[in-house]
């Protein structure tokens, strides 16, 4: 098994990149009971499968922006990035941005000791509301989003916190414009200024709650660790069985008996006529 993720909706897919990542079978320096290693190749092939399924697309409206966003999706705010919006559509008209992964490219993923990086080339169309309440295409552009981030773990709460270390676009180019001439280099500069401000907003939101690790019945996870290495992510955790006591009532005899995990009913107490379990 080479770790390739395929979509069940796609057949005869040729993966445009190879798996050159070597991950360890075990980390002998870590003493947790469960160790998981995730290759960057697995993540990259999963993103490719999502792209081929048409899932890497999004419509961004004001409602989807985080609270406190310095950029609003209306003509007044976006006119600083796309000059000519207010002139064509008027002041304070609503806008939305429709983006999808460029089909001529594919997502690129990189794991290093410093964190994770994802590069995604997208095509985006900006629409604005006209004074007659109709959506009108303002501009379409192509750009590559470069995102880098890292993770930290709170071992007390067993929560994982994600933070962006960089959000930026590169290789920006105008495809079509209905609001007058637009400079690709100026657009890239303005987008990067907006992303720098949004990065701080995203990080503040991500720092509030974090992500809790899944819990399983009868088991307790402690001492969670996560770390990026060259080509892979390592996550380890100690797993302890939790002893639960379940009581059942044999409705034939009226006897109440104790059942410890793992669940093994004694022949003496077995009956097809049992009450629902009662956990204490």
3-state secondary structure of 217: coil
pLDDT in tens, 63-86: 988 888 889 999 999 999 999 999
Greater confidence (250 vs 228) lies with: 228
pLDDT recorded at residue 223 = 86
Lowest mean pLDDT of 37-51, 102-116, 121-135, 198-212, name the range. 198-212
3-state secondary structure of 187: helix
For residue 55, give both structure tokens: 């899932």
Q: What are the φ and ψ backbone dihedral angles of 189, each rounded to 5 degrees?
A: -65, -45
* Cα–Cα dist 157/208, whole Å: 13
Residues 184/174, Cβ–Cβ less than 8 Å: yes
Average pLDDT over all residues of the chain: 86
Residues 138/178, Cβ–Cβ less than 8 Å: yes
Greater confidence (215 vs 119) lies with: 119
Q: Which residues contact 39 (CB under 8 A, 6 or more apart)?
A: 3, 19, 21, 23, 111, 231, 232
pLDDT recorded at residue 158 = 79
pLDDT recorded at residue 241 = 75
Strand order in the sheet with 219-229: 34-39, 232-241, 219-229
For residue 150, give both structure tokens: 């890292």
* Cα–Cα dist 63/261, whole Å: 48
pLDDT in tens, 153-192: 988 887 899 999 999 999 999 999 999 999 999 999 999 9
pLDDT in tens, 222-236: 888 899 999 999 999
pLDDT in tens, 131-150: 999 999 999 999 999 999 99
pLDDT recorded at residue 244 = 54
3-state secondary structure of 152: strand
């Amino acid at each position: 098994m080479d770790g390739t993720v395929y979509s069940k909706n796609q057949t005869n897919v040729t993966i445009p990149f190879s798996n050159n990542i070597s991950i360890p079978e075990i980390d002998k320096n870590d003493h947790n009971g469960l160790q998981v290693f995730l290759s960057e190749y697995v993540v990259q092939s999963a993103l490719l499968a999502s792209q081929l399924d048409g899932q890497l697309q999004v419509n961004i409206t004001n409602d989807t922006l985080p609270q406190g966003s310095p950029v609003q999706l209306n003509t007044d705010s976006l006119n600083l990035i796309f000059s000519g919006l207010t002139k064509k559509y008027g002041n304070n008209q609503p806008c939305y941005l429709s983006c999808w992964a460029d089909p001529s490219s594919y997502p690129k993923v990189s794991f290093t000791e410093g964190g994770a990086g994802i590069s995604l080339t997208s095509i985006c169309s900006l629409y604005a509301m006209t004074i007659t309440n109709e959506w009108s295409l303002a501009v379409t552009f192509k750009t590559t989003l470069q995102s880098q981030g890292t993770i930290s773990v709170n071992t007390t709460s067993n929560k994982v916190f994600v933070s962006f270390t960089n959000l930026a676009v590169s290789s920006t180019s105008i495809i079509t414009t209905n609001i007058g001439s637009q400079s690709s280099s100026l657009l890239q500069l303005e987008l990067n200024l907006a992303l720098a401000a949004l990065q701080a907003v995203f990080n503040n939101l991500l720092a509030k709650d974090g992500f809790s690790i899944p819990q399983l019945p009868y088991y307790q996870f402690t001492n969670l660790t996560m770390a990026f290495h060259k080509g892979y992510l390592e996550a380890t955790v100690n797993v302890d069985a939790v002893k639960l006591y379940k009581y059942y009532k044999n409705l034939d005899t009226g006897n109440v008996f104790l059942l410890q995990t793992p669940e093994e009913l004694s022949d003496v107490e077995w009956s097809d006529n049992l009450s629902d379990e009662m956990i204490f």
